[in-house]
């Protein structure tokens, strides 16, 4: 059996994690059976370099998440017809308990955006698997905005991409939410969930998106945000083709082998 790993990921785990230390000998034996290993986050590269696995197709390298290998036109079938005809702010959080400070930060950005954007008939669409309104006082704050709020939990992959593509503003801690925002040029602001996420840190390092990060008590200015987002989008578009080339080369070496 020939084994290959493209964009392997360890989530938020790091080499110093006690679980990794416990199972390291087993993992090392498994990794040595691969002909090619590439990682979605570069966090683990030093550990693989230390192990010196000498894989047949070359050293372990960093590659792009598969979603980043495609361009906006490749998703056209999913986004050609907007699922919501009215302008909307999109919210997508993850199915984990959220800190109150993160929820407050999200609501502060939402409130400031609504006040400053001047968009008539603006709606709020929440496609989270974790209902943001389950937090005490959130419902009242959103209700005070005077906007229609809809919670759409049953959202599949096609719908997810569609909602991101057509949102006027997207608030999320989701790595893939940020990825699709960059692909479609959708304005987005984000926060870390459960501590710094190596996947998101990778996006910060590659495309300088840290200027879009939300934090509690930080005044949101739409003009400054728009300028920062434009710079992030420019960086993304300037470097994505070069980053894709390396990832394509890794995939090509696997196919040819």
**Same domain (yes/no): 16, 80:** no
Judge whether 235 lies within some domain: yes
For 190-214, letters b (16+ CB in 10 Å) and e give: bbbbeeebbbbebbbebbbbeebeb
Confidence of residue 144 (pLDDT cuts 50, 70, 90): confident
Q: Convert the pLDDT of each residue in 8-27 to its tens digit.
A: 988 777 888 888 989 999 99
SS3 track for 142-191:
HHHCCCEEEECCCCCHHHHHHHHHHCCEEEECCHHHHHHHHHHCCCEEEC
Q: Region 130-141: what's the mean pLDDT?
A: 69
Q: Convert the pLDDT of each residue in 40-56 to its tens digit.
A: 988 899 999 999 999 99
Eight-class DSSP state of 216: T
For tokens 């929820």, the residue is 103
Closest CA to 207 of 227, 178, 176: 178
**Same domain (yes/no): 191, 93:** yes
Q: Which CATH number is 195's domain given?
A: 3.40.50.2000
**What is the residue range of 173's domain?**
74-239
pLDDT at residue number 195: 66
Paired with 26 in beta bridges are: none
**Same domain (yes/no): 32, 111:** no
Q: Tell me: pLDDT of 130 over 70.
A: no
Closest CA to 6 of 59, 62, 74, 68: 62
- Compute the mean pLDDT over every residue in the chain, rounded to the nearest whole number: 90
Q: Region 182-211: what's the mean pLDDT?
A: 89
**Same domain (yes/no): 25, 147:** no
**Same domain (yes/no): 100, 59:** no
Number of domains in the chain: 2
**Same domain (yes/no): 41, 103:** no
Judge whether 253 lies within some domain: no
| CA–CA gap between residue 195 and residue 240 (Å, rounded) | 26
Highest mean pLDDT among 18-22, 141-145, 242-246: 242-246
The pTM score is: 0.90
Judge whether 204 lies within some domain: yes
Confidence of residue 250 (pLDDT cuts 50, 70, 90): very high
**Same domain (yes/no): 51, 148:** no
Confidence of residue 194 (pLDDT cuts 50, 70, 90): low
pLDDT at residue number 128: 86
Judge whether 250 lies within some domain: no
Judge whether 251 lies within some domain: no
Paired with 213 in beta bridges are: 190
Paired with 169 in beta bridges are: 89
Give the domain-ending residue among 63, 83, 102.
63
Judge whether 68 lies within some domain: no
Is the distance from CB of 220 to CB of 113 less than 8 angstroms? yes
Q: Give percent of the chain with pLDDT exceeding 70.
A: 95
Q: Region 56-84: what's the mean pLDDT?
A: 94
Q: Tell me: pLDDT of 94 over 80.
A: no
| CA–CA gap between residue 169 and residue 245 (Å, rounded) | 30
**Same domain (yes/no): 176, 228:** yes
∠ CA 185-105-189, rounded to 5°: 10
pLDDT at residue number 72: 93
Q: Give percent of the chain with pLDDT exceeding 90.
A: 68
**Same domain (yes/no): 106, 57:** no
């Amino acid at each position: 059996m020939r084994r290959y790993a493209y964009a392997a990921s360890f989530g938020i785990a790091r080499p110093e994690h006690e679980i990794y230390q416990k199972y390291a000998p087993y993992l090392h034996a498994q990794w040595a059976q691969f002909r090619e290993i590439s990682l979605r986050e570069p966090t683990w590269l030093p550990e693989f370099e230390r192990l010196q696995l000498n894989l047949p197709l070359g050293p372990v390298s960093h590659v792009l998440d598969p979603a980043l290998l495609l361009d906006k036109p490749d998703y056209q079938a999913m986004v050609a017809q907007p699922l919501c005809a009215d302008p909307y702010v999109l919210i997508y959080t993850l199915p984990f308990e959220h800190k109150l400070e993160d929820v407050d930060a999200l609501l502060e950005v939402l409130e400031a955006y609504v006040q400053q954007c001047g968009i008539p008939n603006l709606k709020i669409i929440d496609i989270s698997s974790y209902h943001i309104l389950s937090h005490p006082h959130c419902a009242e704050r959103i209700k005070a905005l005077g906007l229609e709020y809809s919670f759409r939990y049953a959202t599949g992959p096609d719908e997810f991409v569609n909602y991101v593509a057509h949102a006027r503003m997207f608030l999320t801690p989701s790595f893939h939410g940020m990825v699709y925002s960059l692909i479609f040029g959708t304005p987005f602001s984000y926060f870390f969930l459960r501590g710094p996420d190596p996947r998101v840190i990778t996006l910060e390092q590659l495309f300088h998106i840290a200027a879009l990060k939300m934090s509690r008590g930080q005044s949101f200015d739409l003009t400054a945000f728009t300028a920062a987002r434009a710079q992030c989008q420019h960086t993304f578009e300037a470097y994505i083709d070069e980053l894709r080339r390396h990832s394509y080369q890794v995939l090509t070496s696997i196919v040819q082998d």
